[in-house]
Structure 1
Amino acid sequence: MTSLPVRAMPVEIIQPDAGSSFKLLHHRVEAEHFRWEYHCHPELELVYVVGGVGRRHVGSHLSYYQDGDLVLIGSQLPHAGFGYGSKGIHEEIVIQFKEKAFLGIPEIQFIESLFEHARFGICFYGKTKEEVGAKMKRLPKLGTFERFLYMMEIFHMLAQSKEYILLNPQENTYHLSIKDHSRLKKLSEYLEQNFHLPIHIEEVASLVNLSVPAFCNHFKKMVGMRYTDFVNEYRIHKACQMLLSDKSMLDIGFECGFSSQSYFSKVFRKVKGRSPMQFRNEMINRSF
């Protein structure tokens, strides 16, 4: 893939905590006030979202998470805030660190492969997410030395884990320009306000001043998926939130913009790998 230029990509400036080799952040804020902007920085970043739902946008990968998230983001890999699309209080714990601070130490050579894979963005799931998340929740309460020891344990757990997926199939080389960032934000806001209605591609293309063919091609290059898939993933994301209520399947399907119950079930299974009823039952069982 040919690398495209970055035009004024927002770069976050990160300083390690005093007496530490990394920066620890603990955010707990109303979701609507959480930072969304697509940005990058030289440091690697490990993000643990404490429960809830929302959207992950790492490199050209865009998808929605349920029940929290655990993602390792490589150096200079563009990403957006994980609070977009969440509701109520959004809580996350973030560790930011320079790769060179942990390389060349014989006892922790195992992390080199982990950091190499981080160039693609790594999403961890299952027991790895649960156990690493529990350790990360303890970090804000520890002193600097104890935090460092916990970090070594966390790196070791991640490096040994088989419970992960790479978010980008190849190293991300397409960075959003300021103009594309503005377009994506406008498209996301439009979808958030209109997902329950029929969405016509002509109207969407006109929002960003492109012809339909140009919009379809550019959107896929920008996000890594077709616009129709983007819409369906968002609708299923909203459906997952509604499935935690006592609304009927029929009402949820129509309220999320699906024209029929059968089409809603088909798309839900494609995106989530199970039926809406199976998803609801899993969430009910998990709450006990």
Structure 2
Amino acid sequence: MKIKKEIVITNPGQSFKLFTPRLKNYFYWHYHPEYELVFVEATTGIRHVGQHISSFMGSDLVLIGSNIPHLNFDYGLKTAYHQVVIQLKENFLGDAFDDIPELKTIQLLFDKASMGLSFTGTTKETVAKKLKYMHKLGHFEQLLCLLEILQILATSTEVTELNEQDTSIKLFLNDKIRMGAIYKYIHANYNETPDVNKVAESVHLSTPAFCRYFKKQTKMTFTEFVNQYKITQAKTLLLQDKNISEVCYEVGFESLSYFNKLFKKLNGENPSVFKKRYA
């Protein structure tokens, strides 16, 4: 469960890789020199790109820069989902970005991707339709479609930078801690009270040292991360027609009022409104 370098092999006869991975039962904390565009449709899931950790609802569209560590977007999903991924080198068109003025906006998009970019609104809807249709096209038509997608992303204002700084692998290479061990422990214990002392011991650090490490790597405290993980699981359960009180205690909260307050803080709406809107 250490961070892994993925070796990307492009599709035969193509300059990029288009595929639909399914890794929900596999913790894949990894990086690669290639840029990656991910679209996933799911009830809810975890988005972990660089130091940014959050959850998504319904669908997610993210562009990840070169050598940015990230977790597979379908990790731990318990409901049906669909995912499309494109991986490409920055110079997948050779020197075209230097020689063709019309491609400069896409080059600027690649520069910004070092932060991890999340797209919403009509941008996400438009790009999602194109990505779902791409596998039906021939190789040349797929290339044209990819360029069109990149141009849409490059000119979109419906975008959020996920990280405040470049979080490429240089930040993580000397990290001897296995993020997978932390995720595995939380996933197994989130419905109880995860013990920071136990997880610190499992990665061979003192509790204070672990807390400093975790905050540096994720920009969150261990408690904040656990609470967010619980709320992500709660959203899935709420959409399985379970009542709010039942979900509250099932994911490990002892106070319904605190659960409601935290849910609203993280999602901008209370559980009852969320349930009505997505049910």
TM-score with structure 1 setting the length: 0.88
1:223 aligns with 2:214: no
1:51 aligns with 2:42: yes
Corresponding residue of 1:180: 177
| Deviation of the 1:179 alpha carbon | 3.2
Taking the aligned partners of 1:176 and 1:59, their CA distance within structure 2 comes to 12
Taking the aligned partners of 1:176 and 1:271, their CA distance within structure 2 comes to 31
What secondary structure, in the 3-state scheme, does the structure 2 residue paired with 1:77 have?
Answer: coil
Runs of 4+ in 1 over 3 A off after TM superposition: 176-179
| Deviation of the 1:205 alpha carbon | 2.3
| Deviation of the 1:176 alpha carbon | 5.3
Structure 1 range deviating more: 108-117 or 87-96:
87-96
The amino acid that maps onto 1:18 is: P
Say which of 133, 142, 151 aligns to 1:147: 142
Q: Say if 1:280 and 1:23 are closer, same or farther in 2 by CA, change over 3 A.
A: same
Say which of 60, 65, 70 aligns to 1:79: 70
Taking the aligned partners of 2:23 and 2:155, their CA distance within structure 1 comes to 35
Taking the aligned partners of 1:216 and 1:31, their CA distance within structure 2 comes to 28
Structure 1 range deviating more: 139-148 or 205-214:
205-214
Gaps in structure 1 of 5+ consecutive residues = 1-7
1:31/1:89 contact within 8 Å kept: no
Taking the aligned partners of 1:19 and 1:30, their CA distance within structure 2 comes to 26
Taking the aligned partners of 1:221 and 1:208, their CA distance within structure 2 comes to 16
What secondary structure, in the 3-state scheme, does the structure 1 residue paired with 2:43 have?
Answer: coil
1:18 aligns with 2:12: yes
2:49/2:68 contact within 8 Å kept: yes
Q: Say if 1:48 and 1:42 are closer, same or farther in 2 by CA, change over 3 A.
A: same
What secondary structure, in the 3-state scheme, does the structure 1 residue paired with 2:171 have?
Answer: coil
What secondary structure, in the 3-state scheme, does the structure 2 residue paired with 1:70 have?
Answer: strand
2:33/2:89 contact within 8 Å kept: yes
Taking the aligned partners of 1:186 and 1:112, their CA distance within structure 2 comes to 37
Q: Deviations over 1:217-253 (max 9, x none)?
A: 1111122211011001000001100110222211111
Say which of 243, 262, 265 aligns to 1:270: 265
Q: Deviations over 1:136-158 (max 9, x none)?
A: 00111110111111112111211
1:45/1:72 contact within 8 Å kept: yes
Q: Say if 1:115 and 1:203 are closer, same or farther in 2 by CA, change over 3 A.
A: same
The amino acid that maps onto 2:219 is: G
Say which of 130, 133, 151 aligns to 1:138: 133
| Deviation of the 1:89 alpha carbon | 4.5
What secondary structure, in the 3-state scheme, does the structure 2 residue paired with 1:109 have?
Answer: helix
RMSD (Å) for aligned C-alpha atoms: 1.9
Corresponding residue of 2:153: 158
Corresponding residue of 1:95: 86
Taking the aligned partners of 1:85 and 1:245, their CA distance within structure 2 comes to 16
Taking the aligned partners of 1:30 and 1:167, their CA distance within structure 2 comes to 23
Q: Say if 1:213 and 1:280 are closer, same or farther in 2 by CA, change over 3 A.
A: same
1:41/1:77 contact within 8 Å kept: yes
Corresponding residue of 2:192: 197
TM-score with structure 2 setting the length: 0.91
Corresponding residue of 1:4: none
| Deviation of the 1:177 alpha carbon | 4.9
What secondary structure, in the 3-state scheme, does the structure 2 residue paired with 1:221 have?
Answer: helix
| Deviation of the 1:9 alpha carbon | 5.3
Gaps in structure 2 of 5+ consecutive residues = none
Corresponding residue of 2:109: 114
| Deviation of the 1:80 alpha carbon | 1.9
Structure 1 range deviating more: 274-283 or 197-206:
197-206
What secondary structure, in the 3-state scheme, does the structure 2 residue paired with 1:62 have?
Answer: strand
Taking the aligned partners of 1:219 and 1:113, their CA distance within structure 2 comes to 32
2:23/2:74 contact within 8 Å kept: no
The amino acid that maps onto 2:17 is: K
